[in-house]
Amino acid sequence: MTPGTEGYAEHAAELAKRFEAVSFAEKHAAVMHLLPSVPSTVLDVGAGTGADAAWFASKGHRVVAVEPTDALRLASLELHGAHPFEWIDDSLPDLARLRARDERFDVIMLTAVWMHLDELERRRAMPRLASLLAPSGVLVMSIRHGPAPSERRIFDVSDEETVSLASECSLKKVLALRTASVQAANRLAGVTWSRLAFQWVS
């Protein structure tokens, strides 16, 4: 099992319903202004069932979706067959298969992924992500804070640490917000999210 994916395969059917219940615009309202309006290359890391990847594909973007959990990738075939995008079985912190392709992306999305990595994995992962970002691209992250299911591997990750790691890779912060969860149950439980975005230092 890939570290950080604990609890996802076992609850794939339930999670698929939750992932698909929230629209892209609602989930990513805080960062919509940073996303390109013209066809671009998009990398979705930890893509889950592919809901976000399908939204980008529907807008004409070329999308690569990375997801190490087989059950979630399989669910996408049924849910999002109308919006084809490429799947890769790969994972952070190294993204070895993806990096071997020597591609760069205009948008890199990490939605509810970063807090599954421990400190050493986060330190290793940031340079890998930076190496995949196109010169004018944007790296968009959401990080969960607050109570979490006991079966999942989740760490308390500060915005300050994440911004510092990005800065070490010559990425500058262009957005930092804290928002409530868009899922009602999580909101009632006190879950909040950091919305961070980075671009290359010009």
Rounded CA-CA distance 44/31 in Å is 15
Return the pLDDT at 160: 98
Question: Is 191 among the domain residues?
Answer: yes
Which pTM does this prediction carry?
0.89
Question: Is 112 among the domain residues?
Answer: yes
Question: Is 162 among the domain residues?
Answer: yes
The answer to whether 140 and 176 are in contact (CB under 8 A) is: no
- Domain count for the chain, please give it: 1
CATH value at residue 189: 3.40.50.150
Return the pLDDT at 7: 46
Which residues form the domain of 101?
12-20+38-200
Question: Is 63 among the domain residues?
Answer: yes
Rounded CA-CA distance 161/166 in Å is 9
Rounded CA-CA distance 198/127 in Å is 13
Average pLDDT of adjacent 10-residue blocks, the chain of 202 residues: 52 58 88 96 93 93 91 69 84 95 96 95 98 97 87 89 98 96 75 96 86
The answer to whether 32 and 25 are in contact (CB under 8 A) is: yes
What separation in angstroms does the CA of 174 have from each of 15, 30, 132, 144, 195?
31, 12, 18, 19, 10
Rounded CA-CA distance 173/162 in Å is 10
- What are the backbone angles phi and psi of residue 124, rounded to the nearest 5°? -75, -35
Task: Name the amino acid, one letter, at 77.
Answer: L
Question: Is 27 among the domain residues?
Answer: no
Question: Is 29 among the domain residues?
Answer: no
